[in-house]
């Protein structure tokens, strides 16, 4: 069928293949609430400027409210022949209010219309992500408070390095997520300019008030250049970049949950709510929620890359290629929202095995650095010499199959005569973590102070 919304330029309808590749209603229907809000603001402005009558503006607003109710309630019939959400809404408006509907598109184009709708959708999405990030941070802070003094091994290169507290480890992710929230909020601030009124690419000769429309839709200001307004999607790319970094942080935490919950580590246990079994191995408890969160990162990063590639070679202004901008953004935001919800659930659900963590924290000569530091503080060795002495003691303990604390004082004195009985005070994991009182260190008192600080900041 011919699409009459195009006007008189085309005498015949599109081929089936053209209709298939051209239609976007299957996915851009997600923009319906934003599209209707933009149209209501536009009609109100047109009436305020005397471009359309107050009566027609009133009919348009009532008709748009009715359409939104139909879509909300699942009573609206979307037509692929009408291509997109804008034409579907406009056609239905015409059916409801008659010729007055035709005045709505005065002084605008689908180009500035979709740019406005898309900014509104991304803005709503960023607000939702910000709320979810705050919720996850709150969950991590709460668990950190419970485990401010719970000792676990800290790793570098996935090798036992120095003892830390579980609370300190969890707070590391709070710091990452706080920066993520900053990026989300920055992206929102930069996108919060209104393209409506830029029209197709050059602006309009009608005496519109773009500042009024922008204010009505909650934007800080109208966009300053009509060409840029309709032809860039950097606001979506920036939002997806922020989302991708969040996804990477979630993936890192998910990876740790996978490792910690393995039989070889046994640091934490997830309940049945976040685990699955095996179809053949009855003993299995698989951390599938964490594994799927980990996988979502690849999907979200892929979505961002897809949009970057769509945009990279486009001349000004609008190109139909940009119809391919939305599915990736919708998918990335929905995937990240699900990953955030799952991660928040796992953080609240996981149960640490405190004894096993503590035992692992004391293995692998994890207090060797404490021994080197003691040699600097007490006998007064230069750190490089202390490092060498400690290395010889580690080698001795490793050869005998014992930990540093199991070496006798006489054995230690064969390496350095200045070592005294007091050295054993620094060779326990509990004393090791308590000693790390420097700003940002793992000492339990530090962790408790940070928990209070974050509780006040998150609210």
Is 275 designated active site?
no
Is residue 112 within 8 Å of residue 196, measured between CB atoms?
yes
Marked catalytic residue, from 15, 53, 262, 278: 278
* CA pair distance 449, 442, nearest whole angstrom: 11
Assign 3-state DSSP to the chain and report helix, strand, coil percentages, each to 5: 65, 5, 30
Residue 194, SS3?
A: strand
Residue 433, SS3?
A: helix
Residue carrying the six token digits 């599209």: 35
Is residue 250 within 8 Å of residue 296, measured between CB atoms?
yes
Is 387 designated active site?
no
Contacts of residue 440, defined as CB under 8 A and 6 or more positions apart, other chains included, come to 446
Contacts of residue 179, defined as CB under 8 A and 6 or more positions apart, other chains included, come to none
Structure tokens at 88: 């579907």
Residue 276, SS3?
A: strand
Is residue 196 within 8 Å of residue 213, measured between CB atoms?
yes
Marked catalytic residue, from 157, 205, 408, 439: 157
> What CA–CA distances, in Å, run from 206 to 50, 107, 154, 215?
10, 6, 66, 19
Structure tokens at 428: 């326990």
Interhelix angle 110-146/32-48, rounded to 10 degrees, is 130
DSSP for 30-72? GGHHHHHHHHHHHHHHHHHTTSS-HHHHHHHHHHHHHHHHHHH
* CA pair distance 31, 84, nearest whole angstrom: 10
Structure tokens at 215: 């204010």
DSSP for 294-319? HHHHHHHHHHHHHHHHHHTTPPSS--
Radius of gyration of the chain (CA): 31
Which residue, 254, 448, 242, is CA-closest to 345? 254
In degrees and rounded to multiples of 5, residue 276 shows phi and psi of -135, 170
Residue 162, SS3?
A: strand
Give the catalytic positions in this structure.
157, 278
């Amino acid at each position: 069928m011919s699409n009459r919304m195009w006007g008189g330029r085309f005498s015949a309808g599109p081929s089936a293949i053209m209709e298939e590749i051209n239609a976007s209603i299957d996915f851009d229907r997600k923009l319906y609430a934003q599209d209707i809000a933009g149209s209501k603001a536009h009609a109100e402005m047109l009436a305020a400027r005397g471009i359309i009558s107050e009566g027609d503006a009133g009919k348009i607003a009532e008709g748009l409210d009715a359409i939104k109710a139909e879509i909300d309630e699942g009573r609206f019939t979307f037509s692929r022949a009408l291509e997109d959400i804008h034409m579907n809404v406009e056609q239905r408006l015409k059916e409801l209010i008659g010729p007055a509907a035709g005045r709505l598109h005065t002084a605008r184009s689908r180009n500035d219309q979709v740019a406005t709708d898309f900014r509104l959708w991304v803005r709503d999405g960023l607000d939702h992500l910000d709320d979810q990030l705050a919720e996850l941070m709150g969950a991590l802070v709460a668990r950190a408070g419970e485990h401010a003094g719970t000792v676990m091994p800290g790793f570098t290169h996935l090798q036992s390095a120095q003892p830390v507290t579980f609370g300190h480890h969890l707070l590391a992710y709070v710091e990452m997520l706080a920066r993520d929230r900053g990026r989300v909020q920055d992206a929102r601030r930069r996108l919060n300019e209104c393209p409506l009124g830029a029209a197709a690419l050059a602006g309009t000769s009608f005496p519109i008030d773009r500042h009024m429309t922008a204010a009505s839709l909650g934007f800080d200001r109208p966009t300053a250049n009509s060409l840029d307004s309709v032809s860039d999607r950097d606001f979506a790319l920036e939002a997806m970049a922020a989302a991708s970094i969040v996804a990477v942080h979630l993936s890192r935490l998910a990876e740790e949950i996978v490792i910690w919950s393995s039989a070889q580590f046994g640091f934490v246990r997830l309940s049945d709510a976040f685990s699955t079994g095996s179809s053949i191995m009855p003993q299995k408890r698989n951390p599938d929620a964490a594994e799927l969160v980990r996988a979502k990162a690849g999907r979200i990063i892929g979505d961002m890359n897809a949009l970057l590639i769509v945009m990279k070679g486009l001349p000004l202004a609008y190109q139909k290629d940009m119809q391919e901008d939305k599915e990736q953004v919708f998918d990335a935001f929905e995937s990240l929202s699900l990953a955030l919800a799952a991660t928040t659930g796992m953080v609240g659900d996981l149960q640490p095995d405190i004894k096993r963590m503590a035992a692992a924290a004391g293995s692998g000569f994890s207090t060797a650095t404490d021994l080197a530091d003691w040699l600097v503080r007490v006998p007064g060795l230069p750190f490089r010499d202390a490092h060498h002495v400690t290395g010889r003691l580690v080698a001795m303990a490793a050869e005998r199959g014992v930990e540093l604390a199991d070496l006798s004082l006489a054995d230690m004195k064969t390496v350095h005569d200045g070592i005294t009985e007091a050295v054993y005070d620094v060779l326990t994991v509990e004393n090791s973590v308590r000693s790390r009182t420097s700003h940002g260190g793992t000492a339990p008192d530090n962790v408790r102070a940070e928990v209070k600080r974050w509780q006040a900041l998150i609210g």
